[in-house]
Structure 1
Amino acid sequence: MTAMDLPTRTGTTGRTAASVMDRVRAYASTLPARAPEIERLGRIPGDVLDGLKATGLLRAALPAAGGGVEMTVPEVTRAVELLAEGDASVAWCAAVALNAALAVVSLPAEVSAELFPDPDLITVTVLPPAGRAVRSGGGYLLSGRWTYGSGITHADRVLAGFRTPEGAPRIAVFDAVHARVLDTWQTTGLRGTGSHDFEVADLFVPERHTFAPVRSGTRQEPLHLRADNLALKMAGVPLGIARSALNSAREILADRRSALPRPAAPADLAHAESLIGAAAAYVYATLEDAWAAQAAGLAPERGTAALARQFAHRACREAVQLLYDAVGSAAVYTERTPLDRCLRDVITAGRHVASSEKILDGVGDLRLGGEPASPHL
């Protein structure tokens, strides 16, 4: 069974995976006009967030009983790619917000309904246990500082990892209004994500609003069968960024075909297209295979999808650099072309732990008989 063979998945709102993809495609087409503003602001404006919520994509990983659509991993990745082609920061924040499903499927139904009365709430997820807690009256007093809080300036909820007094890792869910945002996101790329550090001090979190990280194989739903499934969608970010750069470079070079900035520009354009195409084929082939295996109740080969994701970042970064160079000096004008922003965004995105060079170390060790601890494999 492949993803295409799966039955139509319809949420309680009547949305289907196909209708969500159509809405995402239409919404993504409006993002290039807003991208310079999003970068200048360092956050996503309210009306752009409203448009994202209206697509239904934030429900993609939620169970149907909770208003979700239960899209496949390849479908979610493709949706993220479409968003990234319009604006990488919106795509990144949307991908992070989808991780709210970890809480929804881990907590009792009545607690999930209490914390997420609206399936379209924006959630920040920082899962490493950077916080510390002491027990207090049926819950915890939580303190700590978390880094890379993508979307924290516009979030409704926060998922933050911490350690219990006994040392066990858990994840707390709380209202984002309780987080003190620290102005730390001074970066080259993905500026619009507003991925600032944030902190809380002695915040009371009821025990029922926390849950333990769940190991692979403890759930039966294909989307949540493996702990790394929700990380797989991040491959859509570099693919979308690279396609944006490719489209822009092709348009610029076509207009200047009689006076190209460099003799090798056509070859560089073609080389970049081949890199992006190869990365996309690798990513979606591995995702389709992994999804088909999980839908059939089988365990996919570990590490393969992570390798494809890491390759996509490397190949797309090389492609965007080629396109930037092919266009020449015109690439530096950020208000005229997205190429400069694309290059900075794809470099920054590649620093994420789920796509960094450490993935190669982990998969290599796995192939040689080791047992790497990374949750992204």
Structure 2
Amino acid sequence: MSRQGASGRRSAASERSSAGAPDTRTNAVARAHGVVELLRASADRIEAARALPADVVAALHEARMFRLLLPRSLGGDELHLKTLAQVMEVIGGADASTAWCMGQGAGCAMAAASLKPEVARRLFGPADAVLAWGAGIQGKAFAMDGGYRVTGKWTFASGCANATLLGGHSYVFEKDGTPRKRANGQQADRTLLFVKSKAKIHDMWHTLGLRGTASYTYEVEDLFVPEEETFDREDPTATFEPGTLYLFHETYAYAAAFSALMLGIAQGMVNDLEALAMSKTPRASASSLKDSPVFQSQFAVLQARLRAARAYLHTTLDEIWDKVEAARAMPIEERANHKLATTYVINQGVDIATEAYRAAGQTAIFPINPFERRLRDALSASQQLQGRPSNFITIGRVLLGLPPDTILLR
């Protein structure tokens, strides 16, 4: 069933029509390039603060980097996923923590399409509106007149420091305390949105890499959330937007964003290696790096692998977008193809970054150079769900005509 199949949902001619809105796909990448120098210059500050500094956040808002997947009807870009990937690679090459916050924020912003127009406008209309949420269904929401009372604690809310809104994925219980069930017998869950000031924030983000993402833990207790500020991420009809983007579950936006981020890290590492090769002569070596046939071959192969991974990702995103747009649905086979490409690119990216780091020799171990930070970021990014090698098991099952064994391809 289409994610836009419900009767009464918004049509292209409705009040939230994007008619007349500017097509920002062509300039989103240019806007990303416009903040690159600031991000490069701010990398040390971002790491030290373990969050994005205020001036960086302001520049990102000015460039509308947190509105990439927000509906055009709300002043967002509503980008094609390939364009999102291009933007993310640019930012990832400058600062991976910033790119991670943007990627998380982009996927979360798709929630606006599942809210009634007036509610979406109230929550996401402000120019500085950013939604963050933690991983997994960690809350309990008890139904009551007009909404829910929710209690829960969520972790890994990337971008929490610069967010204005938080979301809590929660299991739903009826007024009498019994679990609400879906038609398939599983317990129902909903995502509840609330302003960040209503939550208790725990800063526990001390990590190897992606230090600037402020991926905090947060909790609420017995918080009332109106029904209209909640939605069901698993309901394929729960959208008020007609655009192709909203036929995709947000997990596919995260996959596109984080795989492109990894390409950005890897490309940045290879670029740094190329700059190093122009001047470095390794100890006990008869030639400089750039004059070494061994290095020349290694460098060429790294470039080929990067270009191949990028081409695979972009081609896949283009092909699947066209198919989803035509069918108005995303079949299981295309979900598998999408995750096959993104999981592969993430793992290729971290391998390329690791090889480039090793090729830089002792130079790479000093924090004054960018190699060690990029490697820490790549290794940390690779640990997230989207990059797990075990994803290939689920994908392989579908490619072989078997049912998926996890929720990876929801």
Give the TM-score of the pair, scaled to structure 1. Answer: 0.91
| Structure 1 residues 242 and 339, CA gap change in structure 2 (3 angstroms) | same
- Counterpart of 1:230, as a letter, is A
C-alpha displacement of 1:345 = 0.7
Partners of 2:379 and 2:80 in 1: CA distance: 27
Q: Residue 282 in 1 paired to residue 312 in 2? A: yes
- C-alpha distance 276-314 of structure 1, shift in aligned 2 (>3 A): same
Question: 2:258 matched to which residue of 1?
Answer: 234
- Aligned pairs for 1:13-52 within 5 A: 14=22, 16-52=24-60
Counterpart of 1:185? 205
8 A contact 1:148–1:197 mirrored in 2? yes
Q: Kindly tell me: are residues 247 and 76 of structure 1, through their superposed partners in 2, closer, same or farther at Cα, counting changes over 3 Å?
A: same
Q: What is residue 390 of structure 2 aligned with on the other side?
A: 358
The 1-side partners of 2:364 and 2:90 are apart by 22
Pair 1:331 & 2:364 matched: yes
The 3-state SS of whatever aligns with 1:99 is: helix
CA contact (8 A) 2:258 2:346 kept: no
Give the equivalent residue in structure 1 for 2:229: 209
2:280 counterpart residue number: 256
Aligned length: 368
In the alignment, the residues of structure 2 paired with residue 229 and residue 353 of structure 1 have an alpha-carbon distance, to the nearest angstrom, of: 12
Query: What is the rounded CA distance, in whole Å, between the counterparts of 2:349 and 2:296 in structure 1?
Result: 18
Structure 1 pair 215/127, CA: closer, same or farther in 2 (3 Å)?
Answer: farther
Q: Contact (CA 8 Å) 1:12, 1:67: kept in 2 or not?
A: no
- 1:143–1:202 CA contact under 8 A, matched in 2: yes
Match of 1:95 among 97, 100, 103: 103
Task: Tell me what 2:8 maps to.
Answer: none
* Alignment deviations for residues 145-180 of structure 1 (CA, whole Å, 9 cap, x no partner): 111110112211112200111241100111112222
1:159–1:174 CA contact under 8 A, matched in 2 = yes
1:159-215, CA deviations, whole angstroms, 9 ceiling, x for partnerless residues? 220011124110011111222222322211101001122211122211211111144
- Preserved CA contact (<8 Å) 1:354 1:376: no
* 3-state SS of 2:223 partner: strand
Q: What's the counterpart of residue 223 of structure 1? A: 245
User: What is the TM-score when the length of structure 2 is the normalising length?
Assistant: 0.84
Pairwise CA distance, 1:14: 4.1
Name the CA shift for 1:308/1:203 in 2 (closer, same or farther; >3 Å).
same
Q: Deviations over 1:42-81 (max 9, x none)?
A: 0000110111111123222222221122211100111011
**Residue 247 of structure 1: aligned partner:** 271
The percent of aligned pairs where both chains have the same amino acid is 29
1:101 to partner: Cα distance: 3.0
Alpha-carbon contact 1:11-1:69 (below 8 Å) kept: no
Instruction: Check 1:160–1:123 CA distance in 2 against 1; reply closer, same or farther (3 A cut).
Output: same
What does residue 5 of structure 1 align with?
Answer: none
Q: Report the Cα distance in structure 1 between the residues aligned to 2:238 and 2:308, rounded to whole angstroms.
A: 34
Moved more, 347-356 or 84-93: 347-356
Q: Quick one: structure 1 residues 344 and 12, their matched pair in 2 at CA, closer, same or farther if it must change by over 3 Å?
A: farther
Mapped partners of 2:279, 2:115: distance in 1:
55
Please give the alpha-carbon distance, in whole angstroms, between the structure 2 residues aligned to 1:263 and 1:19: 40
Gaps of 5+ in 1: 1-8
Q: Distance in 2 between matches of 1:286 and 1:141?
A: 42
Cα RMSD of the aligned pairs, angstroms, is 2.3
Deviation at 1:271, TM superposition (A): 2.5
| Structure 1 SS opposite 2:307 | helix
Q: Unaligned 5+ residue runs, structure 2?
A: 1-16, 174-179, 181-186, 282-286
Alpha-carbon offset, residue 291 of structure 1: 1.2
Deviations 1:77-136 (A, max 9, x none): 110111101000000101111123332110111111222231541210336221112234
Change (3 A) 1:113 1:194: same
Relative distance call for 1:45 and 1:12 in structure 2 (3 A) is farther
Counterpart for residue 69 of structure 1: 77
SS at structure 1 position matched to 2:403 = coil
Is contact 1:188-1:345 (8 Å) kept? yes
Secondary structure in structure 2 of the residue aligned to 1:158: strand
- Distance in 2 (alpha carbons) for counterparts of 1:46 and 1:240: 24
Which position in structure 1 is the counterpart of 2:337? 304
Larger deviation, residues 136-145 vs 301-310: 136-145
Asked if the contact 1:23/1:55 (under 8 Å) is kept, the reply is yes
Could you tell me whether the CA contact under 8 Å between 2:138 and 2:154 is conserved in 1? yes
**Contact 1:246–1:320 (8 Å) recurs in 2:** yes
Q: 2:325 aligns with which of 285, 295, 300?
A: 295
| Pair 13,333 (structure 1): closer, same or farther in 2 beyond 3 Å | farther
Moved more, 250-259 or 168-177: 250-259
